[in-house]
Structure 1
């Protein structure tokens, strides 16, 4: 089972995670996202040590259609997005996809 958390995004986005101890990251400056983000995401998702990939929600719009589809449906590693307007329903769906059960399910 994959153990590492990786973060992909702008240097400003990844810095906080790096300070918190995340060792795997890919910095893609804002002005280069359209050219370099697909490659950075594909490399991160191909890393067998990575179990969770964290990205900013707005960065998904910079991914090509194929890469975006692949990462949004990936089970391992699982994509967790932060920011934007995803709300608790988005995070709830991500957790459910990652562990296979809905922890908030009502009887």
Structure 2
């Protein structure tokens, strides 16, 4: 079972996670996102030690279509995006995908 959290993003984004003890991270400078972000995300998705990949929501638009689809549909590791005003609907979908049930189901 995967136990590590992996963080992908700008050095400013990953710094807080690193200070909190996250050991798996990929710094992708803002001016190199289009060239390096796909590789960094693919590396995290294929790392057997990583169970959760954290990214900034705005970085999803910099991913190629294939990598973005792989990241968004991945069950393990699960992708969690932060920031960007995604709202509770997106978080709800992320939780549902991660654990397989909708905790807020009103039926």
TM-score, normalised on structure 1? 0.97
Counterparts of 1:1-107 in structure 2 under 5 Å? 1-107=1-107
Shift of 1:104: 1.7
Shift of 1:56: 0.2
- Coordinate RMSD, CA, aligned: 0.8
The separation in 1 between residues aligned to 2:62 and 2:91, in whole angstroms, is 20
The separation in 2 between residues aligned to 1:100 and 1:2, in whole angstroms, is 17
The separation in 1 between residues aligned to 2:103 and 2:14, in whole angstroms, is 28
State the aligned residue count: 107
The separation in 2 between residues aligned to 1:15 and 1:72, in whole angstroms, is 24
Large movers: runs of 4+ above 3 Å: none
